[in-house]
Amino acid sequence: MAHAILMPKPGQMTEECTVLSWHKKEGDPVKRGDVLFEIETDKSTMDVEAFDDGVLLKIVAAEGDVVPVNTVCAYVGQAGEAIPEAAPAEAAAAAAAAAPVPPPAPVPAATAAPEAPASSPPAALPAADREGRLRISPRASRAAAEAGIDPRAIAGTGPGGRITERDVLAAIQAAAAPPAPTALAAPGVAPALVPAALPPTPVDGEDEPRPFNRMRRVIADRLTQSWTSTPHFTVTVAVDVTRLLALRAELKAAGTNLTVTDFVLAATAQTLAEFPDVNSRTDGVSVWPRRRVHLGVAVSLPAGLVVPVIRDADRMPIGELHDRAVALATAAREGTLPVDDMTGGTFTVSNLGMFGVEEFSAIINPGEAAILAVSSAIPTAVAIGDGLAVRSVMKLTLSADHRLVDGELGARFLGAIRRRLEDAAAFRHDALNA
């Protein structure tokens, strides 16, 4: 019997993946453990291996196809063995084409649009199953609730007409788009149709447009969703890190190479344990308290941005925290970071201090209540008593979800981080006793 090769589900929140390349072609012999094809998720790439010996009988998903998880991508079996006439993905497409489309509501003649050409694609499958239950993914349901959109009015494009997060985001964008303008017309004369948007005028020296890669597209969707659905507010404090930088130099001379990021992560993790509300999340209706601190660390890649997660960061000594952060960042840049290490974060730290940034604010990662933006340590003239002294000052900016975190709570949270960073003696004890 031919064995179906399904698109894996690399992470709990992953709904679809892109087929990047096939390592085998139809008719090639296959052994258990052989890499059949490579896929791209929203955060990384991974290989899909064969679980049985035999021959690659049929490739269902071509290179470049975006395929829902648990959908058949290929069949492996014995040479000459029969395979199902249609893969589930093909059967779903056929069902969509054969599904009856309800007639459109009557439109006044003056505003009636021209008929669609015969080659127009079929309408998406209805999202309700035979029992009337709405077929919608958890992420799509949450996005619709946060945006105040009735998901029953959205046509699903997922398997079996299931509503995906992408469908909801498209509906949000469509609802926010301004109506297309129409030309003025004399009474009794149908107005001329005007395109909703004209293509931008080419600029000298401008290259042809290129589409976002998958990672950048997911970043755009998630951060747009966060910025438009979460009421952000920011608060900034200045931290005197003069003693901390001196401690770092002292430890480095003794063979312990810690970074400023390590100290910030340690101080943040300890403070999150002290302020569990900042470590929680909300959808605007309910609050999910989280007592474990899973700290996300933003890492820049050529294709975009990933946020590896250090689990139980508040329970780690600073030396262990450093080793874990280095291992995750290295795996992210090498493209070997498991999806599980990029999910489940409760708070994120974004550090641009190595780029000479004086101050910035960041957008909250969806599913979290706040994010910390870390700037550079800059020599600054500071009033001390009746005189001036040059101190290394670093700005920290907290972006917080105002539905869960008020200004007073955000200020106290940042103040607690500042106190920890300015207490170099406590870090010395931690580092030397790790």
Query: Would you please indicate which residues are annotated as catalytic (active-site) residues?
Result: 402
Two tokens, residue 420: 């920890």
| Angle subtended by helix axes 138-147 and 214-229, to nearest 10 | 40
Residue 25, classified by CB atoms within 10 Å of its CB into exposed (0-12), middle (13-18) or buried (19+), is exposed
Q: How far apart are CA 117 and CA 139, in angstroms?
A: 34
Two tokens, residue 140: 């799509």
What are the strands, taking DSSP E only, across 356-428?
A: 370-384, 387-401
Q: Are 390 and 219 in contact (CB under 8 A)?
A: no
- Cβ of 213: how many Cβ atoms within 10 Å? 14
Phi-psi region of 344 (alpha: psi -120 to 50; beta: other; left: phi over 0): left
Q: How far apart are CA 35 and CA 13, in angstroms?
A: 24
Q: How far apart are CA 284 and CA 305, in angstroms?
A: 27
Q: How far apart are CA 97 and CA 103, in angstroms?
A: 15
Q: Are 26 and 59 in contact (CB under 8 A)?
A: yes
Q: How far apart are CA 359 and CA 353, in angstroms?
A: 9
Kindly give, in sequence order, each residue whose CB lies less than 8 Å from that of residue 60, ignoring residues fewer than 6 positions away.
72, 73, 74, 75, 87, 89, 90
Q: How far apart are CA 258 and CA 42, in angstroms?
A: 31
Q: Minimal CA–CA distance to 123: which of 157, 92, 89, 171?
A: 157
How far is CA 307 from each of CA 106, 350, 417, rounded to the nearest angstrom?
50, 9, 21
- DSSP codes, 294-335: -EEE-EEETTEEE--EETTGGGS-HHHHHHHHHHHHHHHHHT
Q: Minimal CA–CA distance to 318: which of 192, 432, 152?
A: 432
